[in-house]
Structure 1
Amino acid sequence: MSDSTRRAALKGLWGASALLPLVVGQATQAQTPATPAPAPQGPIPRQFTDPKTGRRVIRISDEDGSGVLYFYRPVYTPQGDLMVIKSPSGIVAVRLSDWKTSLLVKGNDNELLFMMRTTREAVYAVTDPGEGEAEDRPKTLYAIHVDTKTVRKLTRIPAGRITGSNADDTLLLGQVAYGAKPLQPKDKGSLEKFGQAEYAALGPDGKPLNFAKAKGVRMLERWAARVPAELFTIDLKTQARRVLFKTEEWIGHAQFSPTDPTLIRFCMEGPWHRVDRIKLIRSDGTGLKSAHTRSMNMEIWGHEFFSHDGKWLWYDLQTPRGQVFWVAGLELATGKRVWKRLEANDWGVHFNIAPDNKTFASDGGDADMVAHAPDGKWISLLEAETIVDADLPSYDADLITIEKFRATRLVDMAAHDYRLEPNLRFTPDGQWLVFVSNMHGANHVYAVDARPGATG
């Protein structure tokens, strides 16, 4: 898209109130944030039975202000017995057999990044002190063994961030933008409460926008800024840095396949209806291609993630935005596509997939995010039902296969403020869903029993 088109988009954003709902988020109704239900009074329970679903929920974290990593980042040991979470005291290890916690790395200036794929090591970054955004400053990456607590230095980068390692832990993957301004200055209180800026912006009428719309304004401004950016790898053995992709677009969400050490997916950040969101590329810089092609105005897709076996790439798809909802899948080896339909109330900020590579989950969203989903604040299981008979003579296997999700609600999130993303994930045995929530006021990490038919 040309610079003139970007300038026109920004001008139009502020100059025409009729355009505003189309460019800054899902909501088209209230100007004020959706108000969560009042948090329950009294001490935060260590475990409870959800009164609406009958599901057992366990509070994993010990400290107020604890959190989880972004929904697709690895947090489990290869053996599936431990996971890592964040706390105000530092990086915490959690034994999954009994949810016992132990402090692994002391100090909240140690930024937890991910677990290695082949070793029992958690990777974290320490950013050099200084002014400005952390991503503009040098940082050193370390790996700590979750059992022995042995620490080794992995690498050092002058700017940017590292977002993952490949399937055999020989390469680190990173991205950097030179001279990019933050979406909005991040104040300490907002970071501690929501993990992100407290986005604020005024609409054409001079009134404050709700959170989703204000964030959309800031994302449009960042998208239009056009600063040099790179996607790169670092060889852990030689420390060689290879630039795979250069652009003035906004790179985000870079991640290696969990099984193919040479396959990378990343995204073009920005307003979803304006970007060609999901990209695939090889670790030598070849094979760049798009994972999805827009077929209608206001069609959006994103929040992409791999299946555990690495065979499928899944993503949130809306045709058009805020109207028809799917979890769409691309089989990487064959190009086969499956779209799984869901109701607006079952949509989630993020989706995830169980180790069986069949069962999905949604972490819900409030009415600011999906205007037509007044009852969408749930942690839910999603199981697909086939709605087209493949034995019919007219069935064409080369076309998109359509399925429909049946939702099972697990946790009532009515009291959750969705400025904090739940970032849910299944445990390695598929029996629990782990997420972060402020449903009781303070941020804590929880797990809900996700076994079929389980109750408290």
Structure 2
Amino acid sequence: MRTWQSEMSTFTDALTGRTIKRLTTTGNNVHMYFTENSFVQGKNEIIFQSDRASGKNRAPHEDPEFSIFRMNLDTGVIEQLSDDIVRSASAVTKTPEGHLIAYTTDCEVKVLNTETGVTTLVYRETGAYQMASVPSIAPNRQYVAFCRNEDSRDPIHYHGANYAGFKERFYAIKDGRITLAYLDGSGSFDVLKDTHQVGHFQFSPVDSTLGMFCHEGPWNLVQQRIWFLDFISREARPCFRQNEEDSIGHEFWTQDGYVFFDNRGPGHDGTITSDKTQAVVKEVAVNQNTMIPFVGLMDRNGKLVKKIDMPFYCNHYHANPDNTVLVGDDVDKLVLIDISGTQPKLTELCGHKTSWHTQSSHCHPTWDWDGSRILFASDEGGRVQLYLLEL
């Protein structure tokens, strides 16, 4: 596989005076989705996606051909780990220390062992279904699970620009599956068949028999977004039980096994576009509210263990290791929000200057495993690049 020499440089943020390290300059470069973590636990490395080896000069909305890479954050040297083209910029996950990487191509799910270099085909789609979102590796490292939805002529929103097809697919898809495949390639089966478009499946980090998934679509149209899935009983049950006024999404597992979610209230579809408006409910501003938005932490039994009113707007949040501080991406800035007390306290981190034009251009700021650094993306300059901020 090919290697690239360091592209790292530093600059001073004009907004806050903080020093920011730019990690990449070649092609488009995207870190793992914010529900995952690109940082390699125990090593000063990240695993990320890039189209630098494709030989094609494509803008982010032109579906760049992403493959998987590793960067040494001490030297900046970049190493290509696989020449497979992944299904989307966010179709990759890994175990915390990076020994196993699972990813989807157009019709296959594969697992790469980075210690041996062996890639195992664990699932091939032969029916009228499409892979959805990111695969998830169980903490026991015996199997991977992922979402599949029936084929639709409507585009999936993480291809193209500005959430094209987001509302249309929500109505069109009536058959969604959660599928399990064994990591040794010995077989697969559907754990759950649903009557909605499903997405964002994630195993609990502390229990290989418990997962979480969502009914995907505009938040204001989805009646019950977040679901737990018991892999023993194969039963789904609601996580946070929604009422009429709730618009919920961007859920993820915290390191200690709670589910974080964001509730923005009536009229919020969970999107932002390059016009700085919502994609579906354009008449409601991204930071316009008829109720006080809040974020919450749920335990595995569906109990709300923490609720924090959130009078600020961010598109995504990610929690530090002890769930006391969030990093978020508002329209123009990255911010830290202290939620250790009864009232949230906001600190500006830096400007991000991203366009919000494509899913890959979303900042998706993500904490390192120890809470000392934040990785984010921006398409300032026309291509998506990676940036590192040390706290």
Instruction: Within 5 Å, give how 1:62-141 maps onto structure 2.
Output: 62-88=25-51, 89=53, 90-106=67-83, 108=85, 113-117=92-96, 120-125=99-104, 127=105, 134=106, 138-141=107-110
Scaled by the length of structure 2, what TM-score is found? 0.78
2:127 is the alignment partner of 1:164: no
What does 1:270-285 correspond to in 2, within 5 Å? 270-275=217-222, 276-285=224-233
Match of 1:151 among 98, 115, 118: 118
1:437 paired to 2:375: no
Alpha-carbon separation, structure 2, partners of 1:66 and 1:167: 27
% identity of equivalent residues: 19
Residue type at the aligned position of 1:183: P
Aligned to 2:355: 417
Correspondences of 1:384-403 after superposition (within 5 Å): 384-386=339-341, 403=342
Deviation of 1:219 (Å) = 2.3
> How far 1:85 moved relative to its partner?
0.9
Q: C-alpha distance in 2, partners of 1:446/1:152?
A: 29
| Higher Rg | 1
Q: Which moved more, 1:350-359 or 1:218-227?
A: 218-227
> How many angstroms does 1:318 deviate by?
1.6
On the 8 A contact 1:81/1:97 being kept in 2, the answer is: yes
Shift of 1:177: 1.5
Q: Is 1:357 matched with 2:320?
A: no
Match of residue 201 from structure 1: none
CA displacement at 1:109 relative to structure 2: 5.5
The aligned counterpart of 1:58 is 21
Which residue matches 2:167?
Answer: 220
Higher helix residue share: 1
* Separation in 2, partners of 1:166, 1:411: 35
Do the aligned partners of 1:341 and 1:404 also contact (CA within 8 Å) in 2?
yes
**Larger displacement relative to structure 2 (271-280 or 286-295):** 286-295
Query: Residue 300 of structure 2: which of 324, 332, 352 is its match?
Result: 332
Aligned to 2:347: 408
Corresponding position: 1:253 with 2:253: no
Maintained 8 Å contact 1:143/1:151: yes
Q: How many residues align?
A: 338
- Once structures 1 and 2 are overlaid, which stretch shifts more, 436-445 or 287-296? 287-296
C-alpha deviation, 1:380, in angstroms:
0.9
Displacement of 1:404 in angstroms is 2.4
Q: Report the TM-score when normalising by structure 1.
A: 0.68
**What is the letter of the counterpart of residue 433 of structure 1?**
I
Query: In structure 1, how many angstroms separate the alpha carbons of the residues matched to 2:207 and 2:79?
Result: 32
Displacement, 1:424?
1.4
Structure 1 unaligned regions, length at least 5: 1-43, 128-133, 187-194, 199-210, 366-376, 387-402, 452-456
SS at match of 1:379: strand
Partner of 1:266: 213
Aligned AA for 1:269? E
| Residues 396-438 of structure 1: CA deviation (Å, up to 9, x unaligned) | xxxxxxx32211111113x320122111111123111101101
Cα distance in structure 2, aligned partners of 1:230 and 1:295:
25
| Greater relative contact order (CA < 8 Å, ≥ 6 in sequence) | 1
Distance apart, 1:315 and its partner CA? 0.8
State the Cα deviation string for residues 161-188 of structure 1 (Å, max 9, x = none).
361111111111012122223336x9xx
**Structure 2: distance between partners of 1:49 and 1:348:** 23
Do the aligned partners of 1:83 and 1:96 also contact (CA within 8 Å) in 2? yes
* AA in 1 matched with 2:99: R
Matched with 1:29 is none
